[in-house]
Amino acid sequence: MTRKHPHFLLTNDDGIEAEGIHCLAGLLRRFGRVTLLAPDRERSGVSHAFSLNRPLALKHHGEDVYSLTGTPADCVMFGIRSFLVEENAPDYVFSGINHGANLGTDVVYSGTVAGAREGALFRIPSVAVSLATEFSSRFDSQHLHFESVIQFVDSFLPMLFERSLPEGTFLNINVPNIPPDLLKGGQFTRVGKRIYRDRFICKVDEHGNELFWLGGEPPTHTPEEGTDFDALENSMASITPLRWIPADHGELSHFKDWPSLESPNGKKGSDMFFRKGDLADPRERMIQDQLLARGISDPHVLQAFRTLRREDFVPEDMKPHAYEDRPLPIGCDQTISQPYMTALMTQALDLQSDHVVLEIGTGSGFQTALLRLLSKEVLTVDRFPELSRKAERVLNSLGFNNILFRVCDGSLGFEEECPFDRILVTAAAPAIPTPLIEQLATPGILILPMGDRENQMLKRVTRTSAGISFEDLCPCVFVPLVGKGGFDEGSK
Ligand code: SAH
């Protein structure tokens, strides 16, 4: 797609003095002209800030090398819009090499990534480049291996020159801080999940003012295949396509069922806000009072609850009670779980849209519907044919697909179909049946109420490549799991 001698606009967030930007400039100059325009000092963590009401000072450091008293986004905007490049608009924007990783959720905070995003906003192919130093204890902590980044970007550039990026997309490259001979290549990845462990540390100055510093332990991440973290774990560079506008308009379809935002009776201003009127809706009241108020915060879980009508899943005489804060009878001496408990389990499963889920205890099918809304495929088992058929009818009538219904004792899982990314048991067991743990994928999560017939503890079993861990989530009361891995046929 490109001209023979492309023009690169290069910025960073570590400032004009940083070693990384000069290494990258050296490489890019082998391919074309480079205009280097970087902040005058370190601007890490400024994200996409730009200077609206403050004049910017430009300093000339040498041929095509400048600094600006602004942010990375300022530099890119200045580079494109000012006199600097009027005659020769940049063909590519590069940002980096950042001294440190920009992985997972870092992309929200990163000034380096924002530099590339600003280029993409001008519809210029743009790339952020970072050296992942602190990511793993295996990585070299003594030496910055910019030569590995240079080698990788050098081999990647011809591909970038020959092909085009999708509309609205730019690239975020992270290279592990290891010597070039240990680098195994590169891989296109998803954005992984960072776990920040920041804390504010308080010190008191000589005037008695309390001052706070961001400190705490270094962040970790959730191990997941196909993510930027996963690539680095495997000594590969990650190339993560990012969108300039952080929105996926596929999500719009989720909001179809939200109440209308139109002003009722021609009212204006705050009277027209939908939440007020909405609280008259028992479903929205349940979401506010039983879920949000007790800490259910995952927007996907809340949205799934907004999508489903609980009255569709309960017997005729229970419909008036469908949104009450308790389990309800559904026949065969079984119950549909309390809405909060259902939400808590769903949230604790941390479902992803590509997951395959096993549910033991179909019951009303309400939980099954939630699981399916948040995953790819659900296998659900109940020991009562009557309950299973009824749930299947309801879910079919609501247009659900990719749900397999089985009638049998599911207490030892479903070996033929394993592994499962998630397993949810909605009936109480005296112990965690070992086959269920064996049928979990890695990584995988199993949730199950464990205890005696009257009182249980909701347990979460997390399986990762590092091993298996157990957590207590909260005390609970479920009907018994009856079968080989549960209780004997007894009372209920
Ligand atoms: N999630 C359901 C809960 C139903 S109650 C809902 O909210 O509607 C628990 C269900 O587990 C009952 O339907 C019961 O029949 C089923 N169950 C109990 N032991 C089982 C077993 N060994 N195999 C499969 N299902 C079982």
| Lowest-confidence pick of 153-157, 244-248, 352-356 | 244-248
Report the percentage of the chain scoring pLDDT > 90: 76
Overall pTM > 0.75 = no
Which atom from ligand 1 is nearest to the alpha carbon of 313? Answer: 8
Q: Residue 67, CB half-sphere, CA atoms under 13 Å: how many?
A: 16
Give pLDDT, residue 299: 86
7-195+222-247: what CATH class?
alpha beta
Give pLDDT, residue 261: 56
Task: Identify the CA nearest to 129 among candidates 108, 103, 105.
Answer: 103
Q: 9-62, pLDDT tens digit by residue?
A: 999 999 999 999 999 999 999 999 999 999 999 998 899 999 988 899 999 999
The reply to whether ligand 1 has any atom less than 6 angstroms from the CB of 387 is yes
Q: Residue 369 C-alpha to ligand 1 middle, in angstroms?
A: 15
Backbone angles phi, psi at 110, to 5 degrees: -70, 130
**Six-digit token pair at 200?**
């504010």
- Asked if residue 256 has pLDDT above 90, the reply is no
Give me the amino acid identity at 485.
G
**Is 192 or 214 the better-scoring residue by pLDDT?**
192
Q: Give residue 234's pLDDT band: very low, low, confident or very high (50, 70, 90).
A: very high
d(CA 139, CA 386): 58
Q: Is residue 178 within 8 Å of 151, Cβ to Cβ?
A: no
Which atom from ligand 1 is nearest to the alpha carbon of 332? Answer: 15
Mean pLDDT across the chain:
90
The reply to whether ligand 1 has any atom less than 6 angstroms from the CB of 451 is no
CATH assignment of 308-476, among 3.40.50.2000, 3.50.50.60, 3.40.50.150, 3.20.110.10: 3.40.50.150
Q: 366-407, pLDDT tens digit by residue?
A: 999 999 999 999 999 999 999 999 999 999 999 999 999 999
Q: Is residue 91 within 8 Å of 85, Cβ to Cβ?
A: no
Q: Is residue 37 within 8 Å of 66, Cβ to Cβ?
A: yes
Nearest CA to ligand 1 atom 16: 361
Q: 87-111, pLDDT tens digit by residue?
A: 788 999 999 999 999 999 999 999 9
Q: 106-144, pLDDT tens digit by residue?
A: 999 999 999 999 999 999 999 999 999 977 777 777 899
Which atom from ligand 1 is nearest to the alpha carbon of 387? Answer: 13
Average pLDDT over residues 286-303: 90
The reply to whether ligand 1 has any atom less than 6 angstroms from the CB of 426 is yes
**58: which strand partners?**
68
Nearest CA to ligand 1 atom 6: 336
Q: Residue 407 C-alpha to ligand 1 middle, in angstroms?
A: 11
Average pLDDT over residues 253-281: 54
Residues near 237 by beta carbon (within 8 Å), at least 6 away in sequence: 152, 173, 174, 175, 176, 183, 185, 186, 187, 231
Q: Residue 296 C-alpha to ligand 1 middle, in angstroms?
A: 23
d(CA 361, CA 427): 6
**Is 404 or 299 the better-scoring residue by pLDDT?**
404
Residues near 454 by beta carbon (within 8 Å), at least 6 away in sequence: 477
Substitution candidate for ligand 1 out of 330, 387, 406, 426 with most atoms within 8 A of CB:
426
SS3 labels along the chain: CCCCCCEEEEECCCCCCCHHHHHHHHHHHCCCEEEEEEECCCCCCCCCCCCCCCCCCEEEEECCEEEECCCHHHHHHHHHHCHHHCCCCCCEEEEEEEECCCCCCHHHHCHHHHHHHHHHHCCCCEEEEEEECCCCCCCCCCCCCHHHHHHHHHHHHHHHHHCCCCCCEEEEEEEECCCHHHCCCEEECECCCEEEEEEEEEEECCCCCEEEEEEEEEEEECCCCCEHHHHHHCCCEEEEEEECCCCCHHHHHHHCCCCCCCCHHHCCHHHHCHHHHHCCCHHHHHHHHHHHHHCCCCHHHHHHHHHCCHHHHCCHHHHHHCCCCCCEEEECCEEECCHHHHHHHHHHHCCCCCCEEEEECCCCCHHHHHHHHCCCEEEEEECCHHHHHHHHHHHHHCCCCCEEEEECCCCCCCHHHCCEEEEEECCEECCCCHHHHHCEEEEEEEEEEEECCCCEEEEEEEEECCEEEEEEEEEECCCECECCCCECCCCC
The reply to whether ligand 1 has any atom less than 6 angstroms from the CB of 384 is yes
Substitution candidate for ligand 1 out of 379, 423, 482 with most atoms within 8 A of CB:
482
Q: 258-271, pLDDT tens digit by residue?
A: 665 554 444 444 44
- Asked if residue 347 has pLDDT above 90, the reply is yes
d(CA 250, CA 248): 5
Taken in order 204, 206, 207, 212, is the CA torsion positive or negative? negative
Average pLDDT over residues 138-159: 90
- Asked if residue 356 has pLDDT above 50, the reply is yes
231 class by beta-carbon count within 10 Å (0-12 exposed, 13-18 middle, 19+ buried) = buried
The reply to whether ligand 1 has any atom less than 6 angstroms from the CB of 336 is yes
Substitution candidate for ligand 1 out of 388, 479, 487, 492 with most atoms within 8 A of CB:
479
The reply to whether ligand 1 has any atom less than 6 angstroms from the CB of 6 is no
d(CA 7, CA 215): 40
Q: Give residue 278's pLDDT band: very low, low, confident or very high (50, 70, 90).
A: low
Q: Is residue 429 within 8 Å of 448, Cβ to Cβ?
A: yes
- Asked if residue 276 has pLDDT above 50, the reply is no
- Asked if residue 230 has pLDDT above 70, the reply is yes
Average pLDDT over residues 72-97: 89
Give pLDDT, residue 153: 97
Q: Is residue 113 within 8 Å of 242, Cβ to Cβ?
A: yes
Q: Give residue 468's pLDDT band: very low, low, confident or very high (50, 70, 90).
A: very high
d(CA 99, CA 94): 15
Residue spans per domain, the chain:
7-195+222-247, 308-476
The reply to whether ligand 1 has any atom less than 6 angstroms from the CB of 394 is no
Give pLDDT, residue 161: 93
Substitution candidate for ligand 1 out of 340, 346, 378, 383 with most atoms within 8 A of CB:
383
The reply to whether ligand 1 has any atom less than 6 angstroms from the CB of 327 is no
Give pLDDT, residue 155: 94
Q: Is residue 219 within 8 Å of 268, Cβ to Cβ?
A: no
Nearest CA to ligand 1 atom 19: 481
Q: Is residue 382 within 8 Å of 367, Cβ to Cβ?
A: no
**464: which strand partners?**
467
